[in-house]
Amino acid sequence: SLLQEKSAVTQVNSCDTLSTCAAEYSTLTMATSHNTTDLEQLDNEQQEQEEKARLITQVLELQNTLSDLSCRVDNVKEENLRLRSENQVLGQYIENLMTASQVFQGTQEQGRNK
């Protein structure tokens, strides 16, 4: 590409008529413009590839975060069920103690008489 440009410049420098020089100059300008466009396209493609890689990395991180949160929710649900069960057992135990205790028997009877 650079070699083509140098060759075109040499041809323009060695041209013998004005019309030949103008044609050579036009060819050189188009080649340079084409090379600039190619470089811009390569740069744009590289930027797109970098953006895609960044987005893929971000998606993978978000998937991992979602997976971690899902596991945490499952663990909290299990803990909640376990604590509810323990509360139920403790509530039943306290109720049984109150029923068996003489101290609470008098209180319960007073509450019924009111």
Q: How confident is the model at residue 8, as a pLDDT?
A: 47
What percent of the chain has a predicted confidence (pLDDT) above 70? 59
pLDDT number for residue 73:
97
> Helices 2-13 and 18-100 sit at what angle, rounded to 10 degrees?
160
Confidence of residue 98 (pLDDT cuts 50, 70, 90): confident
Q: Which residue has the tokens 């188009």?
A: 30
Q: Give me the pLDDT at residue 47, please.
A: 93
SS (H, E, C) 9-39: HHHHHCCCCHHHHHHHHHHHHHHHHHHHHHH
Over range 35-50, report the average pLDDT: 83
pLDDT at 35: 64
pLDDT tops 50 at residue 89: yes
69-82 residue pLDDT tens: 999 999 999 999 99
Percent of the chain as helix, strand, coil, to the nearest 5: 95, 0, 5
Confidence of residue 103 (pLDDT cuts 50, 70, 90): confident
14 has pLDDT over 70: no
Separation of alpha carbons 33 and 28, rounded Å:
8
